[in-house]
Amino acid sequence: MSFYCYHCWSDFEKESDCCPKCGKELSSFSALNFHEKLICALDHPERLTLQRAIWIIGNLRLEKAVPKLSILSKGCQDFVIVSEIINTLIKIGSAEAVKIVEELSTHTSSIVRKYASEALSSYLTHH
Ligand SMILES: [Zn+2]
């Protein structure tokens, strides 16, 4: 499994007291805190950090983040972010998550609509 730093959102293979990337202390690490911090990172103003947080949420299949991802995807015009949200919702794969992808397939942006429809049809072929 991978570990993630909730300061800079780097991932690393071995559990450690300090982040190997940014050097910040991780001793207060707990799964609950980590998940909450990850959901908070969805408010992060920096696009790469936001994108990374969305990606990690998908890897962890964090269903608790779905409502926030839903809000984020609807107000967002940034295709990179919206497509990352779609990937993550498909990875989570709950009924609620898939429903949001369905809604995104009617998004105002044609590139988002296309991406969501394709993600949805590939999800449906595999389930
Ligand atoms: Zn770090």
Tens of pLDDT, residue by residue over 13-70, are: 888 888 999 998 886 656 667 888 899 899 988 899 899 999 999 999 999 999 999 9
pLDDT value of position 30: 65
6 CA distance to ligand 1 middle (Å)? 7
- Please state, rounded to an integer, the average pLDDT across all residues of the chain: 90
- Amino acid, res. 83: S
Please give the model's pTM, rounded to 2 decimal places.
0.84
Measured between its terminal Cα atoms, the distance across the chain in Å is: 25
99 CA distance to ligand 1 middle (Å)? 34
Domains present along the chain, CATH in parentheses: 3-126 (1.25.10.10)
2 CA distance to ligand 1 middle (Å)? 13
> Averaged over 108-119, what is the pLDDT?
95
13 CA distance to ligand 1 middle (Å)? 13
20 CA distance to ligand 1 middle (Å)? 7
pLDDT value of position 44: 86
| Calpha distance 65→11 (Å, rounded) | 19
CB 101 within 8 A of CB 90: yes
Question: Does the pLDDT at position 73 exceed 90?
Answer: yes
4 CA distance to ligand 1 middle (Å)? 8
